Amino acid sequence: MTFFKERLKNIKAFIFDVDGVLSYDTSPLDESGDPVRTANVKDGFAIRYALQNGFQMAIITGANTQRVKLRYKKLGVEHIYLNSFQKMECLDDFIVKTGVAKNEILYMGDDLVDFPIMKEVGIPTCPVDAVPEVKAISMYISDKKGGEGCVRDVIEQVMRSQQKWFGQEIKGIKAD
């Protein structure tokens, strides 16, 4: 059996859910009744840094808001799937477009809609406040809650395992 830390060395891509992972799982509502999502700046920095170091990245979410799309486009994420409740179709599309194998993907989700995709990827992960069913199939449970740095946690672990986390001078990278 391969240990979790050893498997991190094979990761070439990250896929993240939004609500409950990249943002809090509770949100105030705007005047039209839509959630106002949060964004953790340390997660944003880690996303940008991973992309600049050659990792592939996707966002797959049931959310259907242009603010989410704009946020992650600004960070450099090319593969953003909104209004997605059949996440396996998005995974298949991402694989075709990037050439990354399923076993080279780390996915972080927090709820039942993430369950099928998590069973297919190389490393399924979740924040500490994920639902029990998702925790049960996760290879790693971050000690951080959704929206509170869990994405930075897994990106940093992968990059450290591959000796890519701040091993060289950072040039031209902008903080979030």
pLDDT value for 64? 83
Task: Determine if residue 19 is labeled as part of a ligand binding site.
Answer: yes
CA–CA separation, 165 and 81 (whole Å): 27
Among 73, 84, 155, smallest CA distance to 116 is for: 84
More confident residue, 68 or 139: 139
- Residue 17, marked binder: yes
Q: What percent of the chain has pLDDT over 90?
A: 72
Confidence (pLDDT) at 31: 72
Residue with the two structure tokens 């070439």: 12
- Alpha helices by DSSP H, listed for the chain, are 4-7, 41-52, 66-74, 87-98, 115-118, 132-137, 150-161
- Any idea which of 90-94, 131-135, 168-172 has the lowest mean pLDDT? 168-172
On whether 34 is known to bind a ligand per the annotation, the reply is no
Looking at per-residue confidence, does 96 or 86 come out higher? 96
Residue 2 has pLDDT above 70, yes or no: no
User: Which tops the pLDDT comparison, 173 or 167?
Assistant: 167
- Kindly state the tokens that stand for 74: 């600004």
pLDDT of residue 127: 98
Fold adopted by 4-161: Rossmann fold (3.40.50)
Question: Over 80: is that where the pLDDT of 158 sits?
Answer: yes
Query: How confident is residue 1, by pLDDT bands cut at 50, 70 and 90?
Result: very low
pLDDT at 168: 46
Number of helices followed by number of strands (H, E) in the chain: 7, 6
Rounded distance between C-alpha atoms, residue 135 and residue 110, angstroms: 8
User: Looking only at Cα atoms, what is the longest distance across the chain?
Assistant: 52
| More confident call, 166 vs 141 | 141
Work out the mean pLDDT of the chain and round it to a whole number: 89
Average pLDDT over residues 83-106: 96
Q: pLDDT tens across 8-61, in order?
A: 999 999 999 998 898 866 665 667 767 666 788 899 999 999 999 999 999 999
Neighbour-count burial of 14, counting CB atoms closer than 10 A to its CB (0-12 exposed, 13-18 middle, 19+ buried): buried
